[in-house]
């Protein structure tokens, strides 16, 4: 940190103080995900704080997987986590670690705690342990096995490691204080027996450390100076400190901040798993999910996610951030970066009756008015076009400035056209609109100075591509789906209109070469991204976000 740069939040203020008083002479932080699911935007806040804070102080940051539960962990999750962090723009270089790297050392430290009389093997069942633990208002009581001798505990613990006992039959517990007001200090479990294959250590171990035992010591082994974590871990800090002090090892400082909560969104990993496993969504990377992989697939720029997190800020008190702010950040980036294209989502044929049959012209179109360097492209124009069905009204309401009988509009980058007729099928549905064009108005300007109030987009019917459009919206239709009336669950409030499929959209031919991940503004319609399912023969686009925030308006209809 520059001498002239003031800390921007309470975490930076605390770290600056630590450096000034000599508690630490450098800064090392870490992001410690459990590889048992995909990262969501709440994790993105933690990543930006953990890694961003280190960058502020010219420090280092580690990526460490706290892989202490082989039953729930998979290499798939490890790979997805790394991809997400890189997508956010962070590089941990060669500092990739795993709690499983430290299993031997953690075991030796557990033996040390037993030898010091600070840990014991307990034969109580999991249900009995919960019963003995007490409650927030009632103290716990000691296990009948708490006063075993050091020698007996060492023998039993070694047998646990050697696989002599079945799952759940014994645990190793820290001997602290069963009457503590902090339930985390009531002889917490350190090791449990699990005859399970680990994704990195294989079948070497049949006992695995609990997260609360492994977490602080792993920080210590890596020389992490500042453990930055959310407020849920504040009550665990005395336990982490207790282990470190009993072992006499490097003492990391833990600082807590408020986790991210987002309106119209569920961030509970348990609930996200439920959405996936019960197939309410199409996987972890469904574009409606708050996972980073889902947001990336939907077309969110990583800069928008980071900008949103910066705007939310770092606080000690929890509050709910408005998803409209996130969508604003997405629009702000895409408005500057996304090229404009013409796409008709609900096509209606428009025939220019006085335009020569078989003739095609190339109209010059601006790629991005916010970026001159994006240049222009040529768009084919012909006698038959597609326009949006909503851009024509047989009986237009007052102040309807698009196409209607006898009404003239400007075709974007094309000509002025005036409606002369229309055709209906036997069901009364309008199938064609007939117009005449003014050849003197090429480019959308009239040499006689006459004005038209409406401009609509179009696609040449002879050159149009057909694509699949997936229109995504908010997954939930209430602001706080995690807090619903008794008798309901968050599942009762899934938005039935969160996903709508359109198989008949018509695209200008420049999109033929669009590839997965490319993002565009469909003029007048919104921002869209090419989906990973897309192929040159079957283009698929996801709606990233509408041009404007229309949610409240639609909900109040």
Domains in the chain, CATH or no CATH each? 10-259 (3.40.50.620), 269-339+467-555 (2.40.240.10), 343-457 (2.40.240.10)
pLDDT at 451 over 90: no
Instruction: Kindly report, residue by residue over 476-504, the tens digit of the pLDDT.
Output: 999 999 888 898 999 999 999 999 999 99
3-state helix, strand, coil in the chain (%, to 5): 30, 25, 45
Q: How confident is the model at residue 554 (pLDDT cuts 50, 70, 90)?
A: low
Determine which one of 16, 72, 253, 259 is catalytic.
Answer: 259
Q: What is the mean pLDDT of residues 269-290?
A: 96
Region for residue 163 given its phi and psi (left: phi exceeds 0; alpha: psi -120 to 50; beta: otherwise):
left
pLDDT tens, 56-83? 999 999 999 999 999 998 899 999 999 9
pLDDT of residue 318: 86
Coil, strand or helix: which one is 523? coil
Classified as helix, coil or strand, 159 is: helix
* pLDDT at residue number 1: 57
Residue 38 above 60 pLDDT?
yes
Does residue 367 register a pLDDT over 90?
yes
34, 55, 370, 393: the active-site residue: 34
Residues 181, 182, 183, 186, CA torsion sign: negative
Active site residue 151: no
d(CA 104, CA 362): 70
How far is it, in rounded angstroms, from Cα 387 to Cα 377? 20
Query: Looking at the predicted structure, is the pLDDT value of residue 249 above 80?
Result: yes
Per-residue pLDDT for 8 more than 90?
no
* Confidence (pLDDT) at 550: 67
Q: Quick check: is 141 catalytic?
A: no
CA-CA distance, 162 to 58, in Å (whole number)? 45
The sheet with strand 499-507 has its strands ordered as 339-341, 519-522, 526-530, 539-545, 465-472, 499-507, 343-344
137: helix, strand or coil: coil
The per-residue pLDDT for range 280-326, each reduced to its tens digit, is 999 999 999 999 999 999 999 999 999 999 999 999 988 899 999 99
Contact 190, 147 (CB under 8 A): no
Active site residue 34: yes
Task: Determine how many CB atoms are found less than 10 A away from the CB of residue 8.
Answer: 13
- Residue from 246, 253, 269, 418 carrying the catalytic annotation: 269
Helix (H, G, I), strand (E, B) or coil at 474: coil
């Amino acid at each position: 940190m520059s001498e002239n740069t003031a800390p921007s939040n309470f975490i930076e203020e605390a770290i600056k103080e630590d450096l000034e008083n000599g508690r630490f002479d450098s800064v090392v932080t870490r992001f410690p995900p459990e590889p048992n699911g995909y990262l969501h935007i709440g994790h993105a806040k933690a990543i930006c704080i953990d890694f961003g804070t280190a960058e502020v102080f010219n420090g280092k940051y580690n990526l460490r997987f706290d892989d202490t539960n082989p039953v729930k962990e998979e290499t798939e999750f490890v790979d997805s986590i790394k991809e997400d962090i890189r997508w956010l723009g962070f590089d941990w270089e060669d500092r990739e670690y795993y709690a499983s790297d430290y299993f031997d050392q953690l075991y030796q430290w557990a033996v040390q705690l037993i030898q010091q009389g600070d840990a014991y093997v307990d034969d109580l069942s999991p249900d009995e342990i919960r019963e003995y633990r007490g409650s927030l208002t009632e103290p716990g009581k000691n296990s009948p096995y708490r006063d075993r001798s050091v020698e007996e505990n060492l023998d039993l613990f070694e047998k646990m490691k050697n696989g002599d006992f079945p799952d759940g039959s014994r645990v190793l517990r820290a001997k602290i204080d069963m009457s503590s007001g902090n339930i985390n200090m009531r002889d917490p479990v350190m090791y449990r027996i699990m005859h399970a294959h680990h994704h990195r250590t294989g079948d070497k171990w049949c006992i695995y450390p609990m997260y609360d035992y492994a977490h602080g010591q792993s920080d210590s082994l890596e020389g992490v100076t500042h453990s930055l974590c959310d407020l849920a871990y504040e009550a665990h800090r005395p336990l982490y400190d207790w282990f470190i002090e009993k072992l006499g090892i490097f003492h990391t400082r833990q600082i807590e901040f408020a986790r991210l909560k987002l309106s119209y969104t569920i961030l509970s990993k348990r609930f996200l798993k439920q959405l996936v496993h019960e197939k309410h969504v199409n996987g972890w990377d469904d574009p409606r999910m708050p996972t980073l992989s889902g947001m990336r697939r939907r077309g969110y720029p990583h800069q928008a996610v980071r900008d949103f997190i910066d705007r939310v800020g770092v606080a000690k008190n929890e509050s709910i951030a408005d998803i409209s702010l996130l969508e604003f950040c997405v629009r702000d980036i895409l408005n500057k970066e996304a090229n404009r294209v013409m796409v008709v989502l609900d096509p209606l044929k428009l025939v220019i009756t006085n335009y020569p049959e078989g003739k095609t012209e190339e109209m010059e179109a601006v790629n991005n008015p916010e970026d001159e360097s994006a240049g222009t492209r040529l768009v084919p124009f012909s006698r038959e076009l597609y326009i949006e069905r909503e851009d024509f009204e047989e009986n237009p309401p007052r102040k309807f400035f698009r196409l209607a009988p006898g009404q003239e509009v400007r075709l974007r980058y094309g000509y002025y056209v005036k409606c002369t007729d229309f055709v209906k099928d036997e069901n009364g549905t309008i199938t064609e609109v007939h117009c005449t064009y003014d050849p003197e108005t090429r480019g959308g300007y009239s040499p006689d100075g006459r004005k038209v109030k409406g401009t609509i987009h179009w696609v040449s019917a002879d050159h149009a591509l057909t694509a699949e459009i997936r229109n995504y919206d908010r997954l939930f239709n209430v602001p706080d789906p995690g807090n619903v009336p008794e008798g309901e669950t968050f599942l009762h409030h899934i938005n039935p209109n969160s996903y709508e499929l359109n198989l008949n959209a018509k695209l200008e031919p420049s999109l033929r070469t669009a590839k997965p991940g490319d993002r565009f503004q469909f003029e007048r319609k919104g921002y869209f991204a090419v989906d990973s399912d897309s192929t040159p023969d079957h283009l698929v686009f996801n709606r990233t976000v509408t041009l404007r925030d229309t949610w409240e308006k639609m909900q109040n209809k």
